[in-house]
Structure 1
Amino acid sequence: MHIPDMKDDKGDPKPGDLIEIKRGHDAHWALYVGDGYVIHVTPVDEGVASLAAESETSLIMKVKMEHLREVAGDDSWAVNNKYDQNCTPLPLNEIIWRAERCIGKDIVYDVFDFKSDDFVRKLRYGGQVSGTG
């Protein structure tokens, strides 16, 4: 399904695809779930990274489902299932089920170990992939 008015570098996303949104030298990652929507993590306090009360090195992120157009804004994005060559994605219904169960939940990450693709990578591949590449 084509999403009109989107900057699209690598074709039309399909449910279960990992979406990489370029933000300067960094990237923000999301999981495409269909009809133009993605599930991704974002700081609890928009624009400000919230630190968990139990530790000054723990970052609190909220899982949200939002339209890809809103998440990407003016930034370019692309489908990037970069681990598919080494790992088999979980069945699509399981990927979507796991993602939808997380909507609205808070996730705590270590500030020094946070990688933006950790959350969506685990949704698509389960525990098959460790680290980023």
Structure 2
Amino acid sequence: VVLVDEAEGADLTKPPKEALEELKPSPLDFVVVAYGEPGKDYEALKEALKREPRYVGLLGSRRKVKELLAKLRVEAGLDEGALKYRLYAPVGLNIGADDPAEVAISILAEIVSLRRGVEAPHLSVVGQGP
């Protein structure tokens, strides 16, 4: 699901770079990367982080997250210190979500908690070492 202010921005056929160039996320925006293909996830994550939205979430296993973070450090020159307060990966709050609907709720709950400034049990491993 792509949530944008204007319906014409929700085109899932565009490559990540092109889609993010058109959407132009600002420091007030929240971006969730959930392609499900490591190559597309990497490209979307790299492009989203370049644009500096307030929040970038990545859907995926802890193993996938660690692999993509390592690749970002090497290929894109991004360090974990710079990502620590913007990148949430794996995305979502730790509510024991088990199916797609519950995962979606945990992601939206994480975004709401950050918007409201409320402490919550994040799943993210960013900033926790290698």
Q: Normalising to structure 1: TM-score of the pair?
A: 0.30
Higher strand share: 1
Structure in which a larger fraction of residues adopt helix = 2
- Output the TM-score relative to the length of structure 2: 0.31
